[in-house]
A and B are shown apart, each in its own frame.
Chain A
Amino acid sequence: MRDDAPLLEFDAVNTHYGDLHVLKGVDYTMSSTDIIVLLGGNASGKSTTMKTIMGTVTPTAGEVRYRGDVINRLSTAGRVKRGIAPVLEARRLFPRMTVFENLEMGAYTQKRGAEFEADLERVYELFPRVKERRGQLAGTLSGGEQQMVAIGRALMARPRLICMDEPSMGLSPRFVEVVFGIIQTINRQGVAIFMVEQNANMALQIADRGYVLQTGRVVLAGPAAELAANPAIREAYLGELHVEA
């Protein structure tokens, strides 16, 4: 581990599902204060990028480095323990567990003790609504409430980096704003964010840098403001409402 190393780097990363070649030599780099947004059409490899960061997909070539260490072979549990936590696509709460138990699962790799209580307080402070609902089964919450729990669950792992797969998916426009506001707040508290988003407009407003993925290759990268002003991006992602099937 080196203190001057980037928080997370992808260096010519390739991944396969069987014969299907998904990521084809992808490079990303981010610092510990960044909000990064990854844009791209359907099936371009965005979720695969998330899974490669979390270690449920292993690169077939290239290196994933976290704080200077190559983590290609590190287990998901090892990554969570070292500070990488996910907010999964479609939230993926444990529906028949209570909100509190879901938060406990977020802290699965952490020791139970004063730190757990402090993390819990922080989540409850950020989301008073989650505190109100802590005894309720997660599957009975509204989509917006579930997203709060999903983010809270990630925070329970004491992360340096949270990876979010389409955090605005399926939320009402008002709630999308709330979620992006929360992401900024968390980032100001010292957590780096790597976010996959279809909602390019809002995501680029809060991000520091962005990448555009197309069929497994990074075709554009740069400061978020630059990407937001790029005509090609405007046409592909900002021109019209992006509807996912």
Chain B
Amino acid sequence: MTGSAIFLQQIVNGVSLGAVYALLALGFTLVYGILELINFAHFSVFMVGAFVALVVLQAFGLQGQSVVLHGAPLVLVLLVALVVTMVASGALGVMIERYTLRPMRNVKGPMAMITTIGVSYILFNLVLLATNAQAINFPDPMPAASYHVGGVVIRLKEILIWIVSAALMVGLNLFVKRTRLGKAMRAVAQDAEAARMMGVDVDHVVMIAFFAGSALAGAAGMIFGLYYNFAQYSIGYTAGLRAFTAAVLGGIGNVPGAMLGGIVIGLIETLGSQYIAARWADVIIFSILIGTLVFRPAGLLGMLAPNRS
């Protein structure tokens, strides 16, 4: 491979990885924008999402790389798995909010955030027990087809990941920008009391935000599994912290910021691994987290936290 082909290859890889981080970062940002809450349970919702997808794909008779599907059956199986995963993860997020966070809504201070850490650990340990801490081989029904463009290899898998991620992000943007509920969500994020005075049911809006964010985390979990061909109880931790960094880097509370941040972090990870060393990637990423918090707390696109007046 030539130097420039290696560089472009890492860009391709970085964008795929970044798509996972971006999807995951959106959930942090949606919830933070509305409740000013950093939701660490989100890490585990992502991980559970990967396992839900794994179970659904196995239910279709897919084990490891043994079965390869093509055409309509492939699309159908992936679509069903994606929808089931998103609904299940969304429901998990809604339950976490309803039963562990809503009772703390009016408690000041870091209690709610600490609760999310607790919930995250419970899910983490439940999956750890259920899987004996093993990495599980993730079904991969996709043909190994790939395209060579100017020395760069783009796998069919990656193209699918890009299409699905882009569709989800465009969908979320349209939802937030155009729909009645999406507008109510923005209104609550900007001024919850005023929104309530307009007749918005704030609890309902919070629930929708958790559903949407968690469903996207589930989708990210499934994509992660397909991309790396495994799922394990611990995947939420690394991916979650990187996605959280992405949300902060983009400007927490800011939806386009989370997408931008995700892609940037994905690129830093792959390029950093290529040109410096894999073990340095996390050092760079968390230096960015700290650097952003210290020098530019509003992130690249500006923090969109609620107005407190």
Contacts and interface: CB of A to CB of B under 8 A. Distances in A.
Whether A and B are associated in the same complex: the answer reads: yes
B186 interface: yes
Interface stretch (B192-200, B221-229, B279-287): B192-200
Contacts of B197: 54, 56, 76, 80, 86, 88, 92
Nearest to B307: A95
B179 to A, nearest CB: 11
A105 B195 contact: yes
Given A56-B193, A95-B307, A80 B199 contact: yes
B309 A108 contact: no
Interface string A96-119: 110001001110110010000000
A96 B199 contact: no
Nearest to B204: A77
A94 interface: yes
B82 interface: no
Interface residues of B, number: 19
B184 A108 contact: yes
Interface string B181-194: 00110110011011
B50 interface: no
Given A97-B186, A108-B180, A92 B191 contact: yes
Nearest to B201: A77
A81 interface: yes
B57 interface: no
A224 to B, nearest CB: 27
A146 to B, nearest CB: 12
A59 B191 CA distance: 24
B190 A97 contact: yes
A104 B20 CA distance: 34
Contacts of A81: 199
Contacts of A96: 186, 190, 304
Given A77-B199, A80-B198, A105 B184 contact: yes
A63 to B, nearest CB: 21
Contacts of A93: 194
Contacts, number: 64
Nearest to A96: B190
Interface in B153-191: 180, 183-184, 186-187, 190-191
Interface string A128-163: 000000000000000000000000010001000000
A95 B309 contact: no
Contacts of B190: 94-97
Given A95-B307, A96-B186, A88 B180 contact: no
Contacts of A101: 183, 186
A104 B178 CA distance: 11
Interface string B295-309: 000000000100101
B29 to A, nearest CB: 14
B183 A88 contact: no
Contacts of B194: 88, 92-94
Nearest to A102: B187
A90 interface: yes
Contacts of B196: 56, 76
A156 to B, nearest CB: 9
Contacts of A76: 196-197, 199
A108 B200 contact: yes
Contacts of A112: 180
Contacts of A105: 183-184, 187, 195, 198, 200
The 5 A-B pairs with the shortest beta carbon distances in the complex, nearest first, are A80-B199, A77-B199, A109-B199, A92-B194, A94-B190
Interface of A: 54, 56, 75-77, 79-81, 86, 88, 90, 92-97, 101, 104-106, 108-109, 112, 153, 157
